[in-house]
């Protein structure tokens, strides 16, 4: 080792020891006769001190040459500081330097490498290796490492085997666009990068591995948002001889372990809610149940009273915002503007104030009597002092809009505390989803998900009604993981492909290998995958997964540091048999 200690290690108990430290120059202060330099490494900061008269002249001369981010090796004696710095663990001591070696110089960095930096996002991404020197950034990746370790410990303990699956594969149908890689040896043919290892993990079950996991990169060529990256990481798992309940229990256990090992949080219950209930009560398949504000359907009470907008609506639905009856005109207008934003698309917002004196005031007083409004309030469980907000229209759209309004109100009322974690299993997802654009049914999860046995008969008569053995783990309104019990026989898998509009030949060409495997003793199996980047972000209390990825891509899918994607030269193209013109 070039050093005896790290820059975060020394304390007053080390006084008088001879030590050697290595690190980066954070900054220097030169007061003429006295000079101090903060030396930084991943473990902390230690102050070096130099003094005219007592420090050897050539050491002082070298010290005066140090610039920000120079890499140095300093040897000296640990001494107690005159004025201590209580903000850092090494603040009681400094090193009286006796010899100093510059291991490497540094150009002036393009931004300040401290917690508070002057560097903008784009600049920091271009010099990500410097950005990663900052505590704040590095600590996020340390959290990621800890979380991965907790996952591995738990799953190894439960007899899971970690298996790597290939990266150059053929298309997997998770519903997104594939990234493709041209094959030089098979010109005109392409590999696809896996959207997930789905078919491979199922094949490992056919192979008798029984319990598989992998912390694995997956690739989806989608338009990017703050919480999406073209390459992202999943904790991918599969188990044999299990039913849905077994999987939910196993991964409730894993989630509990992660929270307790990494955050010191003991999670409460993991309630189960059907997809149908989630949509009806919260208008959302990943409801944030840290707070109530459940939907109340008001059709029966609000229709046929002369208010044509409600009369024509498929759904009239309200939520009760506790203690908001005093909202001002301005606040109510802001809420109306919020739901009318094009992203939400409501036409208007009706309110009912349940006044403290027991009277009611609404924006539709013309059509409804006090008794009418009282009946709404009773149904909504609203007390004096509460505010009821009502939307109407076609059922699906109105539920979506109300879900946005509910989340907005939850935030406004401080009901979405970042340090409270409320898990929820959403179960019984529909097997199929109608796609207006292609006028076809798509698999809501993926084509390998098994329908519920009791709904099988509906496949021919009312396919949209068939429920799947599929589940999502939601925490605080964020989808953390999802999976299903799989189909494990050829006939059902073939039937599923037929319903998804595949011809027999197409199904065979794409997934023949899986259906063949099902004919050689495939065990019943099921699994789940967790979005690892998103989990990290949730543990770190952040909305963006990008912070938790060492070298992320920007929203145009570019890595601005290595400048990728980029063109390749003619010779490479020729070798691949690709002609761009
Ligand atoms: N492969 C699925 C996904 O990536 C997860 C699963 O069904 O296990 O969404």
Q: Residues 429-461: pLDDT tens digits? A: 999 999 888 888 999 999 999 999 999 999 989
Q: What's the average model confidence in pLDDT over 539-563?
A: 93
Confirm if 79 and 47 have CB atoms less than 8 A apart: no
Residue in 213, 446, 514 to alter for ligand 1 test, most ligand atoms within 8 A of Cβ = 446
Q: Which of 41-50, 91-100, 436-445, 475-484 has the lowest mean pLDDT?
A: 436-445
The protein residue with its alpha carbon nearest to ligand 1, atom 8, reads 528
Cα–Cα distance measured from residue 353 to residue 331, given in angstroms and rounded to the nearest whole number:
13
445 is in an annotated binding site: yes
Q: How far is the first Cα of the chain from the last one, in angstroms, to the nearest whole number? A: 56
Average pLDDT of the residues in 480-501? 95
Please state, as a whole number, how many other Cβ atoms lie within 10 Å of the Cβ of residue 537.
24
pLDDT grade, residue 32 (50/70/90)? confident
Residue from 539, 448, 473, 428 nearest 251 by CA? 473
SS3 182: strand
Q: Which helix (H) or strand (E) holds 459?
A: helix 458-461
163-210: per-residue pLDDT in tens?
999 999 997 666 789 999 999 999 999 999 999 999 999 999 999 999
CATH for 12-104 is: 2.40.50.140
| 221 annotated among ligand-binding-site residues | yes
Architecture of the domain spanning 133-272+421-549? 2-Layer Sandwich (3.30)
Contacts 24+ apart (CB under 8 A), 506-513: 510/170, 510/171, 510/173, 511/199, 511/447, 513/199, 513/203
pLDDT given for residue 224 in this prediction: 75
Q: Calculate what percentage of the chain has a pLDDT beyond 70.
A: 99
Instruction: Identify whether the C-beta of residue 565 lies closer than 8 Å to the C-beta of residue 518.
Output: no
Task: Tell me: is residue 533 an annotated ligand-binding position.
Answer: yes
List, in order, residues 6 or more apart from 124 with CB less than 8 Å away: 111, 117, 130, 131
Which ligand 1 atom sits nearest the alpha carbon of residue 527? Answer: 8
- Work out the average pLDDT over 258-268: 96
**Backbone CA torsion sign across 190, 196, 197, 203:** negative
Residue 220 is labelled as binding a ligand? yes
List the residue whose alpha carbon is closest to atom 7 of ligand 1: 483
Residue 186 and residue 18: Cα distance in Å, rounded?
64
- Report the pLDDT value the prediction gives residue 544, as an integer from 0 to 100: 87
Tell me, what's the pLDDT at 226?
A: 61
Counting atoms of ligand 1 from 1, which one is nearest the CA of 448?
7
- pLDDT value, residue 223: 83
pLDDT mean across residues, the chain: 96
- Give the rounded percent of residues in the chain with a pLDDT score beyond 90: 93
Residue range(s) in the chain whose domain bears CATH number 2.40.50.140: 12-104
Q: What is the CATH code of the structural domain delimited by 291-412?
A: 3.30.1360.30
- The model carries a pTM of 0.94
> Residues spanned by CATH 3.30.1360.30 within the chain?
291-412
pLDDT at 194: 95
Flag whether 228 is marked binding: no
Q: What is the pLDDT of residue 173?
A: 67
* Overall average pLDDT of the 235-242 stretch: 98
Note the pLDDT of residue 439: 87
Q: Which protein residue's CA is at the shortest distance from atom 1 of ligand 1?
A: 198
* Closest-lying ligand 1 atom to the alpha carbon of residue 238: 8
Cα separation values, 290 from 282, 286, 423, Å: 12, 12, 9
Decide the pairing of beta strands 525-531 and 231-240: antiparallel
Q: According to the model, what pLDDT value does residue 438 have?
A: 85
Q: Three-state SS string across 8-69, please?
A: CCCCHHHCCCEEEEEEEEEEEEECCCEEEEEEEECCEEEEEEEECCCCCHHHHHHHHHCCCC
Label residue 418 exposed, middle or buried (CB < 10 Å: 0-12, 13-18, 19+): exposed
Report the SS3 class of residue 73: strand
pLDDT average, residue stretch 326-343: 97
Is 375:352 a contact under the CB 8 Å cutoff?
A: no
Ligand 1 test: best mutation among 234, 468, 525, 530, most atoms within 8 Å of CB?
A: 234
Sign of CA dihedral 489, 490, 495, 496: positive
CA angle in degrees (0–180, nearest 5) for 78-84-86: 115
Dump pLDDT digits (tens) for 383-417.
Answer: 999 999 999 999 999 999 999 999 999 999 999 99
CA of 247 to the centre of ligand 1 (A): 13
Average pLDDT score over residue span 328-341: 97
CATH 3.30.930.10 boundaries in the chain: 133-272+421-549
Ligand 1: list residues with CB < 6 Å.
174, 196, 198, 482-484, 527-529
12 pLDDT more than 80: yes
Residue matched to tokens 């809501």: 444
202 marked as binding residue: no
Greatest Cα pair distance in the chain = 96
């Amino acid at each position: 080792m070039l050093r005896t200690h790290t820059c975060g290690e020394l304390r007053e108990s080390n006084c008088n020891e001879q030590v050697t430290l290595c690190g980066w120059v954070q900054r220097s202060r030169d007061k003429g006769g006295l000079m101090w330099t903060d030396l930084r490494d991943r473990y902390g900061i230690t102050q070096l001190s130099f003094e005219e008269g007592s420090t050897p002249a050539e050491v002082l001369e070298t010290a005066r040459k140090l610039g920000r981010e120079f890499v140095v090796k300093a040897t000296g004696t640990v001494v107690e500081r005159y004025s201590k710095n209580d903000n850092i663990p090494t603040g009681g001591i400094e090193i009286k330097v006796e010899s100093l070696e510059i291991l490497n110089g540094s150009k002036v960095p393009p931004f300040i490498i401290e917690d508070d930096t002057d560097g903008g996002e784009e600049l920091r991404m271009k010099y990500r290796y410097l950005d990663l020197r900052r505590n704040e950034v590095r600590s996020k990746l340390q959290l990621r490492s800890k979380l991965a370790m907790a996952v591995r410990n738990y799953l190894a303990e439960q007899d899971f085997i970690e298996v790597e699956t290939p990266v150059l594969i053929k298309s997997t149908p998770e519903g997104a666009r594939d990234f493709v890689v041209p094959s030089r040896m098979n010109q005109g043919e392409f590999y696809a990068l896996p959207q997930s290892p789905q078919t491979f993990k199922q094949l490992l079950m056919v192979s008798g591995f029984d319990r598989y996991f992998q912390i694995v990169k997956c690739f989806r060529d989608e338009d990017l948002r703050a919480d999406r990256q073209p390459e992202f990481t999943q904790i991918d798992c599969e188990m044999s001889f299990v039913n849905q309940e077994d999987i939910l229990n196993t991964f409730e256990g894993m989630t509990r372990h992660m929270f307790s090992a990494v955050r010191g949080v003991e999670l409460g219950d993991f309630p189960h809610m059907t997809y149908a209930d989630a949509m009806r009560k919260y208008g959302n398949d990943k409801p944030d149940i840290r707070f109530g504000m459940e939907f109340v359907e008001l059709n029966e009470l609000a229709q046929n009273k002369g208010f044509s907008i409600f009369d024509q609506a498929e759904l009239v639905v309200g939520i009760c915002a506790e203690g908001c009856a005093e909202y001002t005109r301005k606040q109510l207008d802001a809420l109306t503007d919020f739901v009318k934003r094009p992203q939400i698309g409501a036409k208007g917002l009706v309110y009912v104030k349940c006044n403290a004196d027991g009277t009611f005031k609404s924006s539709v007083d013309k059509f409804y009597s006090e008794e009418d409004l009282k009946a709404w309030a009773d149904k909504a469980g609203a007390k004096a002092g509460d505010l009821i907000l009502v939307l109407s229209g076609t059922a699906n759209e109105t539920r979506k809009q109300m879900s946005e309004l509910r989340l907005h109100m939850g935030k406004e009322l401080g009901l979405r505390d970042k340090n409270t974690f409320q898990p929820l299993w959403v179960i019984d997802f529909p097997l199929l989803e109608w796609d207006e654009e292609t006028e076809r049914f798509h698999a809501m999860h993926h084509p390998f998900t098994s329908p519920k046995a009791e709904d099988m008969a509906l496949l021919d008569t009312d396919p949209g009604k068939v429920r799947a053995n599929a589940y999502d783990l939601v925490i605080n309104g964020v989808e953390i993981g999802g999976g299903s019990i799989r189909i494990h026989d050829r006939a059902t898998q073939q039937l599923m492909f037929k319903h998804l509009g595949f011809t027999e030949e197409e199904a065979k060409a794409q997934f023949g290998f899986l259906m063949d495997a099902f004919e050689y003793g495939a065990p019943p199996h099921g699994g789940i995958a967790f979005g690892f980047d998103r989990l990290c972000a949730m543990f770190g209390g952040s909305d963006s997964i990008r912070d938790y990825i060492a070298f992320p891509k920007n929203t145009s899918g570019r890595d601005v540091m290595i400048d990728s994607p980029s063109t390749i030269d003619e010779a490479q193209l020729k070798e691949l048999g690709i002609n761009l013109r």
